[in-house]
Structure 1
């Protein structure tokens, strides 16, 4: 059966709070990480268009922001994920500005990856890369579980970088997963920033492959001009 969020679980639930500097001064403010509500879905899509595909290494290499068809496919993938009601969003107390977010879903071992059906062209190449990585290291088999939390993007508003927001968002996954009985969060991290945030949040690196090693496998696995060194499967 496909995993679904228990209907008795209130949305939004605040999973984590932390203190950090404000965006434009040294004043310390309180931030909260909670479930994204349906009324903010369009705003979240725009947040990822503004702060994710313009910077995430694989998206930049594939030129997704400049390819209308690829961009539309990413939006379809994100919208499908948002409907699963697991996406985490960070707000500053007293504000509804999206500070950062993590689009996450839960996948069961017996579940077909329905998102394959909407990925084609360069997007299909991205799926081929992920499938190759997971063929080399299967988190479900390694940890002996039948489901895991995976992500379709972690990003922070440019105005709030350098405050540890990404790390705090990843920390919020822990109480959320415990509440739903999910024992493992594990998926590829593509950029040094997200890899560093995951490490600080307690994630371990289970598998790593350099982008040069991927490129040696052929054109389908080549990411022209990519600035990052490697792709890492990291788990908590």
Structure 2
């Protein structure tokens, strides 16, 4: 949808798809170290990327998990709607291992401008209450924090989901995705990357990568101040946060 297009465009002077980072990690069936690469997600792999995110991210993200979002077609369609303009911006990243085109992991990155108002626009297109609940929770964090104003920037690199295939977990691939964001910021002349984190695992990884915490709210406190979210009381993580890494 044209109303969801982002203002920022990837410079034509930067090759696409570009390999941003390589690292060594264990192979699947042995302790042999092989090379993995993190690169731009080719547009012709977008549908496969959606399948990966639906099978991994939408099943494991704590809020969606406690609300059974991964089982609801409308929720998955809402996220597909959000991810498509990100893919068209040519910023999302994919991880492959040496000698294979199997998707190991995906990080749905995008560059947001202060005049995009992307979150407000896309909310109006959502059909699933699960998706609306996730965004309503996120907006609680932003009630008293504006990253554009706080850091004095017009745009920044953000993310709407990071996931690693279950069989490739335990190899610090998520850490490499987070670290690679600095490479993109430097190449795109962006001063920071800022994200909404919902799980204890992702919060811990972000701290290791050098993100600073802007806002943190425990889920139990959210339920106390916003009783309508009582249906997330069995969530498996402790807090949701806003975090930023200055590049």
Report the TM range for the smaller structure's normalisation.
over 0.9
Structure 2: distance between partners of 1:58 and 1:210: 13
Moved over 6 A (4+): none
Q: Which runs of 5+ in 1 are unaligned?
A: none
CA-based RMSD of the aligned residues comes to 1.5
Counterpart in the other structure of 1:69: 74
Is residue 115 from structure 1 mapped to residue 122 from structure 2 by the alignment? Answer: yes
5 Å-filtered alignment, 1:64-143, equals: 64-113=69-118, 114-120=121-127, 121-143=129-151
How high is the TM-score relative to the length of structure 1?
0.94
SS in 1 for 2:107: strand
Q: Counterpart of 2:236?
A: 227
Q: Kindly state the Cα deviation for residue 148 of structure 1 after the two structures are TM-superposed.
A: 1.4
**Residue from 188, 204, 210 that aligns with 1:202:** 210
Distance 1:220 1:83 in 2: 36
1:18-97 maps to which residues of 2 (within 5 A)? 18-97=23-102
Kindly indicate whether the alpha-carbon contact (under 8 Å) linking 2:57 and 2:161 is maintained by their aligned counterparts in 1: yes
Contact 1:107 1:148 in 2 (8 A): yes
User: How many Å separate the matches in 2 of 1:199 and 1:97?
Assistant: 29
The match for 2:156 among 142, 148, 157 is: 148
Deviation, 1:220, is: 4.2
Q: Distance in 1 between matches of 2:227 and 2:109?
A: 29
Kindly state the Cα deviation for residue 111 of structure 1 after the two structures are TM-superposed.
1.8
Kindly indicate whether residue 162 of structure 2 is the aligned counterpart of residue 157 of structure 1. no
